[in-house]
Structure 1
Amino acid sequence: MDKERVQAIASATKDTIPPEFIRPENEQPGSTTFHGWLPEVPVIDLSILDEGKLVELIDNASCKWGMFQVVNHGIPEDVISKLQKVGKEFFELPQEEKEVYAKPPGAKSVEGYGTKLQKEVEGKKGWVDHLFHKIWPPSAINYQFWPKNPPHYRETNEEYAKHLHGVVDKMLRTLSLGLGLEGDDMKKAVGGDELVYLMKINYYPPCPRPDLALGVVAHSDMSAITILVPNDVQGLQIFQADGYWYDVKYIPNALIIHIGDQVEILSNGKYKAVLHRSTVNKEKTRISWPVFLEPPPDFEVGPHPKLVNKENPPNYKTKKFCDYVYCKLNKIPQ
């Protein structure tokens, strides 16, 4: 088990960073981040009463950007604040307390506290520690990975999960309608009531050389969709066709929606899984709380049957979600 936690390395580092955290030149944020006029990721008001208009806005954002922010989403501000508070408090615990929740060696699941997630290319590492655990459905939850300290951690996450259902259902319904499907087709195609809500907390400590390091390297999410709560420290970036990376503007109390690989597959490529990465800050700790909406492990996902025919053949293979995850984490061509 890797005990070289980034939080500990950051505490012991002043002016430089270990070489394994220095990205190749073509990935370094200092030279690849665009600093001129920024095209802004769409911001969509979920309280719009005209469903057709809402479908149009989300459809356009999912085709062009693969990411958008939503406001007036119905999750109370204090619920999000409490989620952020207990997550931050967990990472401020003594190291030995956090290690109680470490991902077991050799475990197939990503659940638990850790640092390394996937196969590292050329031994390069991300400037981040994390905690994974499932928050829905009840049958999928393993409380072994839910911190007992801070004391309100469990009830806070359960309350957030309860409020998240409405956002999830609205997202899947509008995406489904945007594809010309029935309103419940998308949800059925990603697992229905067995859809897994996988919480991740990303903890990015201050980094002496944010121009050279990345928190999380460029990737698209394996999920169907991802719903992310950030803190107020800038760090999320999106890749555009012009070859540059653009900062995603922080908007208080907004949720950031990522189109994931499974929705790209289901839409047969109409909706784009967004390529994004995380930068780090020299002075401040950045934290984010993505929830990955994933099919159950043995659930098969492929282009939706209603969207393919002789004129529009399938562009993706149909496979079990667990097999998809294994290939992606181990950099095996899909």
Structure 2
Amino acid sequence: MVSTRVESLAQSGLLTIPSEYIRPVEERPTDCIIVNAEEEKNGKYDERTGQIPVVDMAGWEEGGEARRKEIMRQVAEASEEWGVMQVLNHGISDSLIARLQAAGKAFFDLPIEEKEVYANDSASGKIAGYGSKLANNASGQLEWEDYYFHLLWPTHERDMTTWPKYPSDYIEATDEYGREIRKLVSRILGTLSMELGLEEPRMETILGGQDLEMQLKINYYPRCPQPELALGVEAHTDISALTFLLHNMVPGFQLFKDGKWVTAKCIPGALIVHIGDQVEILSNGKYKSGLHRGLVNKEKVRISWAVFCDPPKDAMIGPMKELINEKNPPLFAAKTFKDHTDHKLFKKGQSKKN
């Protein structure tokens, strides 16, 4: 447990953020999105957003083979060129998304002392529950974020004591959302496999099949008095296979593309889907794991719901053999998912020291 939540700092009335939250000059969001009511009404912040691909999946079931192939092509193209896409008409109802978001917000609206009942202890390895990001780099820099984290799938491995009991709809809404995301995982992975010329289940099978894990992390970014100096999440690629992201329509997700940071537009009903390291490795670099980060806001609380899709820790992940030949040698060494994770954390720590 940490002694000070970021929410406590935000509520204290401070005008300047503590030094441990100030990013180095080269990391600061010079194109910081600070949305006020007038800008939002007039859509002016759209001028500072980019063109992350939007894939409309309408017609997947009933639109015929030609429509399905077109959607698959767009998914693969976005995965190759950007490593991220915004997906519309993905099959998850607006009402379910509203319930999920209402439940998550209701939990974070609780007084901090009531949320502390669910506090995790990441320093000792207990990561499920309510927490704040501890420093995991040599410089001791912190991110402007509190969060709630727990396993979402497989259902038989969940520890329901780590799920919030309030609000009363949290468990039901989150469980239902997880089941819908799991269907979408199969659809996306199947598409990526077939667009590589492989059988539909190939990639998902390597990633664990029914043992593929999904972790839910609700990211809570309180108002920040100096958003131009801080980050909600520092620049990184996800160790996951895929990540699915919802947010509360406050802009802040950024992808690094062609030497600049591109901010995702807020599109009602859209899911941000981005490729993680494991899919990049399996595809031998064909699909890209995009470098991304999260901004914070001076006037609005930003909340996002991230589902990370991971293989089991002992799954061996390397470039798929069907993609390797003399002209396309392997770009990555095969490792277990645990070894990939440990190696990435080690490299991150070393890079901060150098």
The alpha-carbon distance between structure 1 residues 180 and 72, as it changes in their structure 2 partners (threshold 3 A), is: same
The alpha-carbon distance between structure 1 residues 78 and 10, as it changes in their structure 2 partners (threshold 3 A), is: same
The alpha-carbon distance between structure 1 residues 78 and 257, as it changes in their structure 2 partners (threshold 3 A), is: same
* Amino acid across the alignment from 1:46: M
Offset at residue 35 of structure 1 (A): 9.4
Superposition CA RMSD, Å: 2.0
User: Counterpart of 2:297 in 1: which secondary structure?
Assistant: coil
Offset at residue 95 of structure 1 (A): 1.8
Offset at residue 100 of structure 1 (A): 2.0
| Structure 1 range deviating more: 289-298 or 100-109 | 100-109
Offset at residue 89 of structure 1 (A): 1.1
> 1:170: which partner in 2?
187
Query: Residue 22 in 1 paired to residue 29 in 2?
Result: no
* Amino acid across the alignment from 1:2: V
Offset at residue 117 of structure 1 (A): 5.2
> 2:314: which partner in 1?
298
C-alpha contact 1:26 1:32 (8 A) present in aligned 2: no
C-alpha contact 2:216 2:306 (8 A) present in aligned 1: yes
> 2:95: which partner in 1?
78
Structure 2 distance, partners of 1:279, 1:19, is: 17
Structure 2 distance, partners of 1:109, 1:297, is: 17
User: Counterpart of 1:30 in 2: which secondary structure?
Assistant: coil
> 1:2: which partner in 2?
2
> 1:183: which partner in 2?
200
Offset at residue 297 of structure 1 (A): 1.5
Query: Residue 316 in 1 paired to residue 332 in 2?
Result: yes
Task: Map residues 145-294 of structure 1 onto 2, 5 A cutoff.
Answer: 145-242=162-259, 244-294=260-310
- The two structures have a TM-score, normalised by structure 2, of 0.89
Query: Residue 40 in 1 paired to residue 59 in 2?
Result: no
| Structure 1 range deviating more: 99-108 or 211-220 | 99-108
* Amino acid across the alignment from 2:321: P
Q: Runs ≥4 in structure 1, deviation > 3 angstroms?
A: 31-39, 105-110
* Amino acid across the alignment from 2:10: A
The alpha-carbon distance between structure 1 residues 108 and 298, as it changes in their structure 2 partners (threshold 3 A), is: farther
C-alpha contact 2:149 2:217 (8 A) present in aligned 1: yes
Structure 2 distance, partners of 1:107, 1:14, is: 31
Q: 2:109 aligns with which of 92, 110, 114?
A: 92
Structure 2 distance, partners of 1:109, 1:145, is: 10
Structure 2 distance, partners of 1:154, 1:245, is: 36
C-alpha contact 2:50 2:264 (8 A) present in aligned 1: no
C-alpha contact 1:32 1:245 (8 A) present in aligned 2: no
Offset at residue 45 of structure 1 (A): 0.9
Offset at residue 37 of structure 1 (A): 6.8
